[in-house]
Amino acid sequence: MLRSIREQIDVIFREDPAATSVLEVLLCYPGLHAILLHRLGHWLYRIKLRLLARITSQVARVITGIEIHPGATIGRRFFIDHGMGVVVGETTIIGDDVILYQGVTLGGTGKERGKRHPTIGNHVVVGTGAKVLGNITIGNNVKIGAGSVVVHSVPDDSTVVGIPGRIVKARGQIADDLEHGALPDPQGQDLENMTQRIDQMELVIRALLEEKTKP
């Protein structure tokens, strides 16, 4: 437990330049509070004290605004930045060195039973407001852009943006950081391509009409 707390504090200092002291991190970071309470709730869940585990998760939700089901499995050095509105479902599996930003949902798509939430690999970043839904697998070193909705599995070393999520960078093209302001806009690009095609068709039609009206 002490090692886990130390790792969580270290990752906050690594990822958040606003952190200035250990005391500040311990007192003022809801992501830290949420993950530590989840570790307790998950242990209670595993020893079949399910009601007490759910109560622990609800206490964490009230205190932090972050809802993590005690059944979720979370790896080491998990970092929730700000965190308000983050939801992690019961059968979610999260690897090591994963970062979630505010408003992220790792959820299901219906009332199916069994494994119904995503599996997240190692070194994954999920941007603000993104939704990752269903029993899908997000590979290692994946970046998911803010506001994206991901409903299909994503291979390693990819960047995903849009609704629904589309891979815009694959292996060999991946950036080290998720620069939200510099992410491609696939829907916008589609509209731009369509506009260019329409302009070209208008030029062709105009030329044909002029040719037809010539004496």
pLDDT tens digits along 148-185: 999 999 999 999 998 888 888 766 544 445 555 556 66
Better pLDDT: 24 or 185: 24
Please indicate, yes or no, whether the overall pTM of this predicted structure exceeds 0.85: no
Mean pLDDT of the residues in the chain? 87
**What are the pLDDT digits (tens) for 73-121?**
999 999 998 889 999 999 999 999 999 999 999 998 877 788 999 999 9
Per-residue model confidence (pLDDT) at position 181? 55
Share of the chain above pLDDT 70, in %: 89
Sheet holding 99-100, edge to edge: 79-80, 99-100, 125-126, 143-144, 159-161, 166-169
Better pLDDT: 188 or 4: 4
Residue 189 pLDDT > 90:
no
Per-residue model confidence (pLDDT) at position 176? 47
Output DSSP code: residue 70. Answer: T
Per-residue model confidence (pLDDT) at position 163? 85
Strand partners, 137: 119
Per-residue model confidence (pLDDT) at position 180? 59
Q: Tell me the average pLDDT across 53-64.
A: 95
Report residue 213 as tokens: 């009206």
Flag the least confident range among 39-43, 44-48, 206-210.
206-210
Per-residue model confidence (pLDDT) at position 208? 76
The contacts of residue 39 (CB under 8 Å, 6+ apart) are: 1, 4
The position carrying tokens 């950036």 is: 175
